[in-house]
Structure 1
């Protein structure tokens, strides 16, 4: 049983012209042998793109890539014929499977911020697939990916959005591993205050309460097997 808080400033940072990425785990040139992932979650990137910037065509294999846009909009294009503009209130999942090439860029002449996670699938070499869905958000928990929502090829993995006001309480989902990331506002978790871009990793701590400390506080929580 453990709760490990990771502050925003502890993350690796990649900065190139037009974009800044904050990495929760080892990524690219950034390597820490003690921080290569958390269960099936192998990447959790907080992306900031300037208007018109992004990632040109690049390949992926055997990764479930889940994207949640926080501001602006993101244009996705891949070599399987999928093109979409994804904005706040929509969740995108790209199952890379046996191989896919895609590009991502800020759309509409405005900057964009999004959180993108990569999850290991249960099987390798699956047929690539793509999905984007509108999300009806309300108070409390909303499941974005997993059972009853956009499917993912990792059994037992799901992504939840939590919305809290001041002094609102929520119990974290029941799961062996939980990755909590604050995208707006502030919460109290295990006597620690987490603010925007802070994270926590919980092992065998199902049902832990979180309490909102600011209006419109929002959490992204991965439940992991």
Structure 2
């Protein structure tokens, strides 16, 4: 139970800060409908918290988290698709202005992808999920075959962001809003070792500050 105490103590601090010390501010925030301008598609890695990295407040960003921050292909087959449903909600209902695919260094999902298929039932769910980014793995193994495994993983982490961006554009209502200027999509990459936040610009990744200079 010691592990749970950490969370319970954290909740008490949260309650005091947001429901006692700033009561009026947050009362309005939670009564009114949410109106985030950003959808962030992030990894579920416990070390990568979009709200913390971008220092946002409750209500600022709508977040989807999954293994390796992947966007699956558009499959309108009438079956449940959690990522597609969340993207649709953000774009059609919340009318977000930006979608950010946020990748990161030392991603366990990408590492599993780069290792290749695993034997038996070791990764019954992870392997099929990571197949979404298998093209990224193939390209990395072809273009960077002489690099170390660590470097290959780093290349793949960035390459998989491009795949997710392409898959986003396969949703017709995302494509339509991007073409009309109502929506912008971005690929960002957080380096956990250095704290750097990079943005995909063309075929390279540059510090996000460069976006403000355009």
| TM-score tier after normalising by the smaller chain length | under 0.3
More helix by share: 2
Computing the radius of gyration from Cα coordinates, the structure with the larger value is 2
Q: TM-score, normalised by structure 1?
A: 0.25
More strand by share: 1
